[in-house]
Amino acid sequence: MLSTMQDEQLSLATLLRYASTFQGDSHVSTWTGDGVRTQTYREVGEDAARLANALYGLGIRVGDRVGTFMWNNNEHMVAYIAVPAMGAVLHALNIRLFPEQLVFVANHAEDQVVIVDGSLLPMFAQYLPGMKTVRHVIVANGDASALTAPAGVTVHSYAELLAAQSDTYDFPVIDERSAAGMCYTSGTTGDPKGVVYSHRSNWLHAMQVISPNGMGFTARDNVLAIVPLFHANAWGIPYATLMSGANVLMPDRFLQPQPLLQMMADQKPTFAAAVPTIWGGVLAGLQANPQDITHLRTCVVGGSAVPPAMMRAFQDQYGVKLLHAWGMTETSPLGSVAHPPVGAEGEAEWAYRYTQGRFPAGVQARLVGEDGTIQPNDGVAWGELEVKGPWITGAYYSPSGSAVDADKFHDGWLRTGDVGKISPNGYLTLVDRSKDVIKSGGEWISSVDLENAIVGHPAVAEAAVIGIPDPKWDERPLVAIVLAEGADAKPEELRDFLADKFAKWQLPEYWTFIEEVPKTSVGKFDKKRLRAQHADGSLTVITLS
């Protein structure tokens, strides 16, 4: 028996129409260094139509890929909605990828047009000659004539191109399973892998983001989107803000703690989203120059584990809640969010807040043990996390259609590569990445647990732990410490600090002090580089007896 419900497609064109009319007074604004430039969602709708007309004029049709090489700003937001609404596919290029990876992804996705920020032109100019399928470059917020294009590529000014277009566009009705956008994983090994989101997946994901069990955006919010629009589908923020009518504040290229704090003081966002390294910088900035940030009702933080000490500092010293969430490029990315259950108070509430969070109904999750068996969700058993659901990828993009990394999928589930435990009431606690967990004498040590504990020491700004070969135990933890400015601490003192938090055999004997932890293109610890630094002898290791 079929239902009597209308067979309406979940489409980003419908979302654009809704946001630009019924939420038309809400706005996107971009920080300029000392203020903002603002566009209402009504104006976003008009510019989206202009951009769609312009792209159509340049030959873009349903299914064609349009790249962006941009900071978070008004123009990027317009592209985020205009490109899929016209049936084309948005490919936000990660400006921080290594050059060869960046050229690889543009060619792999077969981007036809790239919209580029003027301030990024010098960087983009180096990559453009390698991009084989790009025919048009549109320069926003800058001087198009500053770019010398290779033969066969035409350069346009965003402002001039849009000024010549109609502010209406007949957005097509397309199948909700069609591609809307794509993102490449920022993995540190092998070629980046492409994930293709659909209109349906983005729509359902946005509904989860705005739900109270997600990030809970409403039309009364002003969301500071620090997470780059080119990372992991921008955590769903562009579509979630358009859907909820929340205002969105874009930091453009002003991503250092001081300008972030300045824009917070000026614009009083109610919500913000960023990875832990950004929050660590903001915290240090606040400690140097205190300011009231209680206008932030919540800051969502994920991408790597959030040290409990950081969550406590924001709450206890600044009255602001850091909301821990877990996800991946492959999961759109919202996978779980750490809202504590009703009744959890005091330390019990904190214990829930430290977890990676509870899975929503749209994300099925299971743990697979080393022997391939499904582990119980008892909060104790560990296993590799596998997930499944309507906004979780079922494959990596393959232009030829042949399977890419088929071993990352298991009976229709995505293998996340994350090792963790799940409590009976659905909270995920990640123990480590499967390749980072340290196997010492047949027992596991979580590098993340050690890192989280060590950064609780006041002299420590950052700590990264890797496993290094050990003749007796196979592997032992090496702790790489970045000291806080002006601070000093000896390895003995740091190990003593850990003594009541870990079993004796887990306490690290190998320590090294470094200037900074190497980071990936999205600001995560690059443990592969740290391991290479250790292997080539460039780290001075202190061994405690």
CA distances 431 to 182, 271, 423, 522, 545, Å, are: 29, 28, 13, 21, 27
Q: Does 447 bind ligand AMP (CB under 6 A)?
A: no
Nearer Cβ to ligand AMP, position 121 or 463? 463
Q: Which of 420, 521, 410, 507 is nearest to 465 (CA)?
A: 507
Binding segment toward ligand AMP, per CB under 6 A, in 248-256, 389-397, 413-421, 508-516: 413-421
Paired with 476 in beta bridges are: 468
- Select from 186, 270, 332, 452 the one that contacts ligand AMP (CB under 6 A): 186
Q: Does 233 bind ligand AMP (CB under 6 A)?
A: no
Binding segment toward ligand AMP, per CB under 6 A, in 13-21, 264-272, 302-310, 450-458: 302-310
Binding mask 349-368 for ligand AMP (x = CB under 6 A): -------x------------
In single-letter form, the type of residue at position 188 comes to T
Q: Which of 355, 215, 226 is nearest to 278 (CA)?
A: 226
Task: Please tell me the distance from the alpha carbon of residue 128 to that of residue 146, in angstroms, as a whole number.
Answer: 14
Catalytic residue among 40, 68, 185, 270: 185
- Select from 522, 523, 525, 539 the one that contacts ligand AMP (CB under 6 A): 522
Q: What angle do CA 194, 154, 169 make, to 5 degrees?
A: 70
- Note if 326 is an active site residue: no
Catalytic residue among 110, 298, 444, 528: 444
Whether 196 and 29 have beta carbons less than 8 Å apart is answered as: no
- Select from 40, 202, 416, 452 the one that contacts ligand AMP (CB under 6 A): 416
- Select from 245, 257, 302, 477 the one that contacts ligand AMP (CB under 6 A): 302
Q: Does 429 bind ligand AMP (CB under 6 A)?
A: no
How many residues sit in the footprint of ligand AMP (CB under 6 A)? 21
Nearer Cβ to ligand AMP, position 114 or 387? 387
Question: 516: number of CA atoms within 13 Å, CB side?
Answer: 6
Q: Does 179 bind ligand AMP (CB under 6 A)?
A: no
Paired with 190 in beta bridges are: none
- Select from 178, 185, 247, 270 the one that contacts ligand AMP (CB under 6 A): 185
Question: Minimal distance in Å, beta carbon 524 to ligand AMP?
Answer: 7
Task: Please tell me the distance from the alpha carbon of residue 142 to that of residue 138, in angstroms, as a whole number.
Answer: 10
- Note if 168 is an active site residue: no
Task: Please tell me the distance from the alpha carbon of residue 447 to that of residue 76, in angstroms, as a whole number.
Answer: 37
Q: Does 333 bind ligand AMP (CB under 6 A)?
A: yes
Nearer Cβ to ligand AMP, position 326 or 359? 326
Q: Does 117 bind ligand AMP (CB under 6 A)?
A: no
Task: Measure CA 351 to chain center.
Answer: 24
Question: Minimal distance in Å, beta carbon 68 to ligand AMP?
Answer: 18
Residues 6+ apart with CB under 8 A from 465: 438, 447, 448, 450, 451, 454, 477, 478, 479, 480, 508
Q: Does 521 bind ligand AMP (CB under 6 A)?
A: no
Q: What is the DSSP string of 380-397?
A: S--EEEEEESTTS-SS--
Phi, psi dihedrals of residue 325, rounded to the nearest 5°: -140, 155
Nearer Cβ to ligand AMP, position 191 or 470? 191
Catalytic residue among 100, 154, 373, 439: 439
- Note if 444 is an active site residue: yes
* 276 cis-preceded (ω within 30 degrees of 0): no
The residue sitting closest to ligand AMP, measured at its beta carbon, is 329
Whether 184 and 105 have beta carbons less than 8 Å apart is answered as: yes
Binding segment toward ligand AMP, per CB under 6 A, in 73-81, 281-289, 416-424, 438-446: 416-424
Task: Please tell me the distance from the alpha carbon of residue 37 to that of residue 116, in angstroms, as a whole number.
Answer: 18
- Note if 516 is an active site residue: no
Q: Does 89 bind ligand AMP (CB under 6 A)?
A: no
Question: Minimal distance in Å, beta carbon 40 to ligand AMP?
Answer: 31
Q: Does 528 bind ligand AMP (CB under 6 A)?
A: no
Buried b (16+ CB within 10 A) or exposed e, 449-459: bbbbbbbbbeb
Site residues for ligand AMP per CB under 6 A? 185-186, 232, 302-305, 324-329, 333, 356, 416-418, 430, 433, 522
